[in-house]
Amino acid sequence: MERIICLLIGYACGLFQTAYIMGKIYHTDIRKQGSGNLGSTNVMRTLGKKAGALNLLCDCLKCVAAILIVRALFGDRYADILPLLSLYAAAGCILGHNFPFYLNFKGGKGIAASVGLLAAFDWRLLLICAVVFFALFFTTHYVSLCSISAYVTAFILMVVFGQRGDYHMDQSHMLELYVVMAFLTVLALFRHKKNIQRLLDGTESQIYLGKKKKNQ
């Protein structure tokens, strides 16, 4: 039951669709612009860098908020499995962001929200994944490749840190933690399936500081 509650709390937080709201402020429907995705990259392409950065921050914070709410509610009674419950909250937030019921379940790809996951769950994951992301960005300029690589890195690191005992849970709950994170990683790959195909075809858009370029 606690897991379901955490998922629902996260889903409710994830329903705050920053890109959709920002588009309304700018009198445009982000879903009909660029890639049609309700994510930070599409906001940046459509509304500019400042709007994209603000969207990234807000999407990140809603996942942080979901985790903090769960920790406040369950921190005393379920301290022994709090990392797991926190991850369920983050998973719910990402699902709410990706599949908002009031927008016909068409949302973003969950990358910005996942940054909030890493920030609130384990700052070491955020730091290392940021290094991976920006190292790839400044050498390839493919945001999709950077995002996918960082996500896979986060999953691997979570397993490594978990097996070292850093999250202080018994093995059965650690395995459950890995399963949830594996699900989120597969979901991220699925949401980027078109990007992956364009990367393979050599037609994926590149993002540069201050401009964009397409290989077509």
Q: What is the mean pLDDT of the chain?
A: 90
Q: Which of 83, 99, 70 is nearest to 6 (CA)?
A: 70
Q: If pLDDT is split at 50, 70 and 90, which confidence band does 209 have? A: low
99-136 confidence digits (pLDDT tens):
999 988 988 899 999 999 999 999 999 999 999 999 99
Name the pTM for this structure.
0.88
Task: Pick 22 or 11 by higher pLDDT.
Answer: 11
pLDDT at 55 over 60: yes
Q: If pLDDT is split at 50, 70 and 90, which confidence band does 214 have? A: very low
